């Protein structure tokens, strides 16, 4: 019996623990699956038994028991008793923080979050030698249960022996009953809603073949009447796994591609903690063109695979191969393109304290907080990443080692987002639109020919005599280097060469502070506007968005804002010229402005 002055009265504490933050039954079930995988199981089974009950109008199916069965190593009497204690277990010491388990809260905490009673059978030498123990909230509340019952030999009920597939020489069966907090009322609903989350959490285990997860809904009144049976498929928010739960045609092929850019797909960071080095890996991916450029489809997000991606938005935080959460703190909720990128951060359990892993293993609190910090604004104030890390370290903030990782994700995502915007830009044609999209290039080509006849030669002129196919290939590859998609690069290269254009004008995210780049390639001049530059937003993007649908006041406002952007751009040049020291540098800047003005005047006069 509890002492009247216990610091934490057991019967009250356990009731309070029911509200321990599990998002839903799928996350609570994942705790049991963690234990199974930690125990070396090759198959885990989610078994949902339902029974019909009489409602006001008709008989309805209702979930009565949920079980998780595994063929892991099983538990002896001592370990089984520990496993049912809150905050106890066999993986609490630091030298055992190597797998999915750790906190000793999983089995009892997740179970009581959904039900009033949990029974556990475990065996290590055949199911006929199974040991049993349990927790019952009613008994705890009335103080009839003050400690975990000593495990005793008890046969596994025939219900589970008949419906389960993997009863090996060793294993564990956890059964929930008196289920009162599960939001899903039938076995089918539990599986339908859990498969997506469970497939995502354990995608690496399932995809590698280390674990199979069987999911069954059945009628308890007709034991062999299966309502639903399936094996969970991987659900990869980075969409790089080939066989997944994604909708066709991307159920058997990867929908995204790895991000190469200026870095490889995988960025590795080394963190020194507890006098040891630990690696954190960050992976980036983005949608393939064929996932978004679909003939006859104006909105790829409305497709089945687009809707699948919509449910997988965020940064996937993975610990020991198992996803903790899909963090949406960095997501721009108003941008439809957010579903088309993937970021995965994977770290070992030895860094739990640094990342701030919660005891229900549903989030990495410290890392999530850091992702929400506007690091760039702090850098714009003149501070460096090293200085910021030192400040956090001096304040005793454990997030200090994670600053480089968060900054990398933010900066890399900025580039990928720009690429995604450019990926489908200009693909939605308007048959009523009379404007020639290549008119500026044609005007510039005419003026350039005129200047050539006057004796002005350019570097690009040398390659004009190369074979057409060779010119197209050079232009295409250059455009791809600047982040233009394969399909678009091929189209632009063909149009430039076949139509005799001197210029190719594109928009793409560039890793440079310049507003635009100029590259003479393949007999043409490739001008790439940097969509990452503020001038792009204030001069170009502001005028392009939904022009056909905008009212006169909106258009007037955009023109005013664009004019402001132009003034700021010119004033930036004026200040640059003003800062040059007297002499050669200042003269060169002034001469460049004058020479460029002469060429610009001729181009615009021809327009």
Express each pLDDT in 102-119 by its tens digit: 444 579 989 999 999 999
Which is more confident, 352 or 422? 352
pLDDT at 540: 73
Three-class DSSP category at 298: coil
What Rg do the C-alpha atoms of the chain give, in angstroms? 31
The arithmetic mean of pLDDT across residues 6-13, rounded, is: 57
pLDDT at 9: 57
pLDDT at 543: 63
pLDDT band at 418 (very low <50, low <70, confident <90, very high): confident
pLDDT at 125: 94
Peptide bond into 249 cis (omega under 30): yes
Distances (CA, A) of 113 to 27, 206, 243, 363: 10, 26, 33, 17
Query: Is the separation of the CB atoms in 84 and 107 below 8 Å?
Result: yes
Which is more confident, 510 or 151? 151
Three-class DSSP category at 176: strand
pLDDT band at 554 (very low <50, low <70, confident <90, very high): low
The arithmetic mean of pLDDT across residues 539-567, rounded, is: 65
Three-class DSSP category at 162: helix
Scan for tokens 């069987």, then name that residue. 214
The arithmetic mean of pLDDT across residues 404-425, rounded, is: 85
Query: Is the separation of the CB atoms in 356 and 386 below 8 Å?
Result: no
pLDDT band at 97 (very low <50, low <70, confident <90, very high): very low
Q: How distant is the alpha carbon of residue 213 from its chain centre?
A: 23
Give the phi and the psi of residue 287 in degrees, each rounded to 5.
-65, 140
* Distance between start and end Cα atoms, the chain: 93
Scan for tokens 């496993």, then name that residue. 83
Q: What's 537's DSSP letter?
A: I
Is the pLDDT at 11 greater than 50? The verdict is yes
Strand positions, DSSP E, 232-375: 256-258, 266-273, 276-287, 315-319, 322-327, 341-347
Half-sphere exposure of 287 (CA within 13 A, CB side): 30
Is the pLDDT at 537 greater than 80? The verdict is no
Question: Which residues 6+ apart lie within 8 Å of 550 measured at CB?
Answer: 558
Is the pLDDT at 447 greater than 70? The verdict is yes
Query: Is the separation of the CB atoms in 427 and 296 below 8 Å?
Result: no
pLDDT band at 432 (very low <50, low <70, confident <90, very high): very low
Number of neighbouring beta carbons within 10 Å of residue 334? 6
pLDDT band at 255 (very low <50, low <70, confident <90, very high): very high
Quote the percentage of the chain above a pLDDT of 90. Answer: 47
Is the pLDDT at 195 greater than 50? The verdict is yes
Three-class DSSP category at 7: coil
Q: 138-166 burial, b for 16+ CB within 10 Å, e for fewer? A: ebbeeeebeebeebeeeebeebbeebbeb
Query: Is the separation of the CB atoms in 23 and 311 below 8 Å?
Result: no
Is the pLDDT at 548 greater than 80? The verdict is no
Q: 208-219 burial, b for 16+ CB within 10 Å, e for fewer? A: eeebbbbbbbbb
pLDDT at 2: 53
Number of neighbouring beta carbons within 10 Å of residue 87? 11
Give the phi and the psi of residue 341 in degrees, each rounded to 5.
-125, 160
76, two tokens:
């002896």
Is the pLDDT at 213 greater than 80? The verdict is yes
Sort 292 into a burial class: Cβ within 10 Å, 0-12 / 13-18 / 19+.
buried
Residue-wise pLDDT for 126-141, tens only, equals 999 999 999 999 999 8
- Mean pLDDT computed over every residue of the chain: 85
Q: 536-558 burial, b for 16+ CB within 10 Å, e for fewer? A: bebbbbbeeeeeeeeeeeeeeeb
What's the pTM? 0.73
pLDDT at 409: 92
Query: Is the separation of the CB atoms in 379 and 347 below 8 Å?
Result: no
Which is more confident, 432 or 361? 361
Is the pLDDT at 348 greater than 80? The verdict is yes
The arithmetic mean of pLDDT across residues 517-539, rounded, is: 85
pLDDT at 278: 94
Query: Is the separation of the CB atoms in 370 and 399 below 8 Å?
Result: yes
Three-class DSSP category at 260: coil
Is the pLDDT at 197 greater than 70? The verdict is yes
pLDDT at 105: 56
pLDDT band at 426 (very low <50, low <70, confident <90, very high): low
Measured between alpha carbons, how far is 272 from 20 in angstroms, rounded to an integer? 32
Nearest to 525 by CA among 467, 591, 484, 464: 464
Nearest to 74 by CA among 131, 133, 147: 131
Question: Which residues 6+ apart lie within 8 Å of 348 measured at CB?
Answer: 98, 278, 279, 319, 320
Residue-wise pLDDT for 592-607, tens only, equals 888 878 887 877 776 5
Scan for tokens 């002896």, then name that residue. 76
Q: How distant is the alpha carbon of residue 86 from its chain centre?
A: 32
Lowest mean pLDDT among 275-284, 313-322, 506-515: 506-515
Query: Is the separation of the CB atoms in 227 and 188 below 8 Å?
Result: yes
569, two tokens:
């751009």
Element at 135 (helix H, strand E) = strand 131-136
Give the phi and the psi of residue 557 in degrees, each rounded to 5.
-65, -40
Query: Is the separation of the CB atoms in 111 and 25 below 8 Å?
Result: no
Distances (CA, A) of 407 to 30, 138, 389, 584: 31, 50, 11, 39
Sign of CA dihedral 213, 218, 224, 227: negative
Question: Which residues 6+ apart lie within 8 Å of 367 measured at CB?
Answer: 317, 327, 345, 355, 356, 399, 402, 405, 406
pLDDT at 167: 85
The arithmetic mean of pLDDT across residues 531-542, rounded, is: 74
Is the pLDDT at 428 greater than 60? The verdict is no
The arithmetic mean of pLDDT across residues 44-49, rounded, is: 97
pLDDT band at 545 (very low <50, low <70, confident <90, very high): low
Scan for tokens 């070992």, then name that residue. 348
Query: Is the separation of the CB atoms in 234 and 203 below 8 Å?
Result: yes
Element at 53 (helix H, strand E) = strand 43-54
Q: 101-128 burial, b for 16+ CB within 10 Å, e for fewer? A: bbbbbbbbbbbbbbbbbbbbbbbbeebe
Number of neighbouring beta carbons within 10 Å of residue 428? 8
pLDDT at 225: 84
Three-class DSSP category at 471: helix
Measured between alpha carbons, how far is 481 from 526 in angstroms, rounded to an integer? 12
């Amino acid at each position: 019996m509890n002492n009247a002055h216990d610091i934490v009265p057991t019967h009250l504490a356990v009731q309070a623990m029911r509200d321990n933050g599990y998002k839903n039954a799928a996350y609570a079930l994942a705790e049991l699956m963690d234990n199974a995988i930690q125990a070396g199981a090759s198959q885990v089974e989610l078994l949902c038994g339902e029974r019909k009950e009489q409602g006001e109008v008709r008989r309805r199916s209702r979930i009565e028991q949920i079980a998780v069965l595994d063929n892991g190593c099983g538990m002896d009497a001592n370990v089984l008793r520990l496993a049912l204690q809150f905050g106890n277990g066999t993986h609490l010491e630091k030298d055992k923080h190597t797998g999915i388990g750790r906190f000793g809260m999983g089995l009892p905490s997740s179970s009581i979050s959904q039900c009033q009673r949990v029974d556990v059978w475990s065996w290590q030498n055949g199911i006929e030698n199974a040991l049993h123990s349990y927790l019952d909230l009613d008994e705890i509340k009335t103080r009839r249960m003050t400690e975990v019952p000593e495990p005793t030999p008890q046969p596994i009920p025939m219900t589970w022996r008949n419906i389960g597939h993997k009863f090996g020489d060793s294993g564990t069966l956890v059964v929930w009953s008196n289920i009162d907090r599960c939001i899903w009322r039938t076995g089918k609903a539990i599986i339908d809603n859990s498969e997506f989350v469970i497939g995502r959490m354990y995608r690496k285990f399932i995809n590698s073949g280390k674990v199979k997860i069987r999911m069954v809904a059945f009628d308890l009144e007709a034991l062999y009447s299966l309502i639903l049976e399936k094996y969970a498929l991987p659900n990869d928010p980075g969409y790089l796994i080939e066989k997944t739960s994604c909708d066709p045609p991307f159920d058997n092929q990867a929908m995204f591609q790895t991000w190469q850019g200026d870095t490889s797909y995988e960025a590795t960071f080394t963190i020194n903690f507890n006098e040891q080095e630990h690696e954190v890996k960050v992976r980036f991916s983005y949608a393939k063109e064929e996932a978004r450029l679909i003939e006859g489809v104006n909105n790829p997000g409305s497709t089945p695979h687009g809707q699948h991606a919509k449910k997988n938005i965020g940064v996937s935080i993975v610990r020991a191969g198992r996803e903790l959460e899909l963090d949406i703190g960095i997501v721009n909720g108003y941008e439809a393109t957010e579903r088309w990128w993937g970021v995965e951060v994977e770290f070992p359990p030895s860094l739990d304290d640094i990342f701030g892993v919660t005891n229900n293993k549903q989030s990495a609190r410290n890392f999530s907080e850091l992702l929400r910090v506007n690091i760039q604004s702090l850098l714009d104030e003149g501070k460096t990443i090293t200085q910021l890390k030192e400040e956090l370290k001096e304040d005793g903030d454990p997030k200090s080692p994670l600053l480089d990782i968060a900054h990398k994700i933010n900066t890399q995502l900025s580039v990928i987002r720009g690429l995604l915007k450019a990926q489908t830009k200009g693909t939605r044609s308007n048959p009523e639109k009379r404007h020639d999209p290549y008119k500026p290039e044609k005007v510039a080509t005419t003026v350039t020919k005129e200047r050539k006849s006057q004796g002005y030669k350019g570097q690009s002129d040398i390659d004009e005599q190369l074979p057409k196919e060779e010119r197209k290939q050079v232009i295409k590859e250059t455009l791809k280097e600047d982040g233009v998609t394969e399909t678009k690069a091929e189209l632009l290269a063909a149009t430039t060469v076949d139509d005799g254009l001197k210029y190719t004008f594109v928009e793409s995210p560039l890793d440079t502070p310049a507003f635009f780049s100029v590259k003479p390639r393949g007999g043409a001049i490739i001008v790439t506007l940097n969509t990452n530059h503020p001038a792009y937003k204030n001069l170009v993007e502001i005028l392009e968005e939904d022009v056909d649908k905008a009212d006169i006041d909106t258009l007037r406002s955009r023109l005013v804002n664009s004019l402001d952007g132009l003034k700021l751009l010119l004033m930036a040049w004026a200040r640059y010229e003003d800062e040059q020291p007297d002499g050669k540098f200042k003269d060169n800047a002034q001469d460049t402005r004058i020479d460029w003005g002469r060429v610009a005047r001729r181009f615009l006069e021809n327009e």
